[in-house]
């Protein structure tokens, strides 16, 4: 367990925020997650790393969950506070030999965009398309981080996104070529449904990578 000093808390929406911490000597592979909580407190939760491998700080993107314990507490942290970080954990990682060669499709719901942000910030020249499923447009967290022509915002509760509907509706209407490497992250219902759609479209199991948040 390591203690990391908070540098800044950046608010993106009334419920979503980014905690920027000192990196110290922490090393990770883009796509991995940490467990995070206040120093000395036993309550910790998993959060994907939002920043890139080469950044000299560590960031996580968190949405405060109604009635949630840790996401609510962390929202109140201030610069100078210390957080306990354990990890890195997980295998939601890019294959080194594919990064410059393959076409990628990233599908994320809500804060599931966090490891995808880290992928793209770490490897900005990747050939990717990103489907981001949210309820309303304000949840297009730091959209300017992505090439506009490669980012498709799917809004389910309003028609202000690039596509009105869920990411799974978009996938049904826009089939994916079978040589695409797919990474899915976020809510389990989206992941199960999108997985089935991709399989039916001929994307073989090998190139589908998933990370379930809840
Ligand atoms: C590998 C992994 C990576 C994760 N990365 C992130 C991340 O980058 N950013 C992030 O915000 N969360 C992430 N999560 C979810 C996070 O770990 C917590 O579950 C979340 O912050 C809620 O914790 P809590 O203590 O506030 O709520 P709790 O008191 O633990 O739970 C309250 C309820 O909220 C539900 N819930 C959990 N997450 C959500 C959500 N996002 N929306 C709606 N309901 C939810 C739980 O199922 C539970 O029923 C990740 C989870 C995993 C397993």
Atom of ligand 1 nearest to the CA of 90: 1
Q: How many angstroms is it from 143 CA to the middle of ligand 1?
A: 22
Examine the domain organization and report whether 107 and 207 are in the same domain.
Answer: yes
Distance, CA of 102 to CA of 179 (rounded, Å)? 8
The answer to whether residue 98 sits within a structural domain is no
The answer to whether residue 96 sits within a structural domain is no
The answer to whether residue 24 sits within a structural domain is yes
Question: Which residues have CB under 6 Å of ligand 1?
Answer: 33, 45-48, 60-63, 65, 67-72, 110-111, 114, 211, 213-214
Average per-residue pLDDT for the chain: 96
The answer to whether residue 43 sits within a structural domain is yes
Distance, CA of 80 to CA of 65 (rounded, Å)? 24
Q: How many angstroms is it from 73 CA to the middle of ligand 1?
A: 13
Examine the domain organization and report whether 13 and 111 are in the same domain.
Answer: no
**Ligand 1, pocket-test mutation among 10, 47, 83, most atoms within 8 A of CB:** 47
Query: Residue 24, SS3?
Result: coil
In 46-203, which ranges are continuous DSSP H helix?
A: 70-75, 114-122, 167-173, 188-200
**Whose C-alpha lies nearest to ligand 1, atom 13?**
47
Domain assignment of residue 114, given as a range: 103-212
Confidence of residue 204 (pLDDT cuts 50, 70, 90): confident
Examine the domain organization and report whether 26 and 50 are in the same domain.
Answer: yes
Distance, CA of 74 to CA of 82 (rounded, Å)? 11
**Ligand 1, pocket-test mutation among 12, 42, 45, most atoms within 8 A of CB:** 45
The residue among 89, 121, 153 that closes a domain is: 89
Q: Which of 9-23, 113-127, 198-212 has the lowest mean pLDDT?
A: 198-212
CATH assignment of the domain containing 68: 2.40.30.10
Atom of ligand 1 nearest to the CA of 72: 26
Distance, CA of 178 to CA of 205 (rounded, Å)? 10
The answer to whether residue 97 sits within a structural domain is no
CATH assignment of the domain containing 155: 3.40.50.80
Distance, CA of 185 to CA of 112 (rounded, Å)? 5
Quick: pLDDT tens for 132-178: 999 999 999 999 999 999 999 999 999 999 999 999 999 999 999 99
Instruction: Enter the DSSP assignment of 177.
Output: P
Examine the domain organization and report whether 66 and 107 are in the same domain.
Answer: no
Quick: pLDDT tens for 67-124: 999 999 999 999 999 999 999 999 999 999 999 999 999 999 999 999 999 999 999 9
- How many domains is the chain built from? 2
Give residue 205's pLDDT.
65
The residue among 89, 113, 146 that closes a domain is: 89
The residue among 89, 114, 145 that closes a domain is: 89
Atom of ligand 1 nearest to the CA of 46: 17
Residue 207 pLDDT greater than 70, yes or no: no
Examine the domain organization and report whether 141 and 195 are in the same domain.
Answer: yes
Examine the domain organization and report whether 117 and 200 are in the same domain.
Answer: yes
Examine the domain organization and report whether 112 and 170 are in the same domain.
Answer: yes
Quote the pTM value: 0.96
**Whose C-alpha lies nearest to ligand 1, atom 7?**
47
């Amino acid at each position: 367990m390591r203690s990391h000093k908070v540098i800044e808390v950046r608010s993106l929406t009334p419920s979503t925020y980014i905690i920027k911490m000192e990196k110290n000597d922490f090393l990770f592979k883009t796509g991995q997650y940490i467990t995070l909580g206040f120093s000395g407190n036993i309550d910790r939760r998993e959060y994907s790393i939002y920043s890139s491998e080469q950044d000299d700080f560590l960031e996580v993107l968190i949405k405060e969950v109604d009635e949630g314990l840790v996401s609510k507490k962390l929202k109140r942290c201030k610069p100078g506070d210390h957080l306990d970080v354990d990890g890195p954990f997980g295998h939601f990682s890019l294959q080194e030999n594919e990064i410059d060669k393959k076409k990628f499709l990233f599908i994320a719901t809500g804060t599931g965009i966090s490891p995808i942000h880290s992928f793209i910030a770490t490897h900005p020249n990747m050939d990717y398309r990103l489907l981001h499923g949210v309820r309303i447009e304000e949840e297009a967290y730091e959209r300017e981080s992505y090439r506009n022509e490669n980012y498709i915002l799917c809004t389910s509760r309003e028609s202000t996104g690039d596509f009105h509907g869920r990411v799974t509706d978009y996938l049904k209407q826009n089939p994916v070529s079978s040589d695409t490497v797919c990474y899915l992250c976020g809510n389990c219902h989206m992941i199960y449904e999108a997985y089935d759609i991709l399989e039916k479209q001929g994307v073989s199991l090998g190139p589908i990578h998933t990370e379930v948040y809840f």
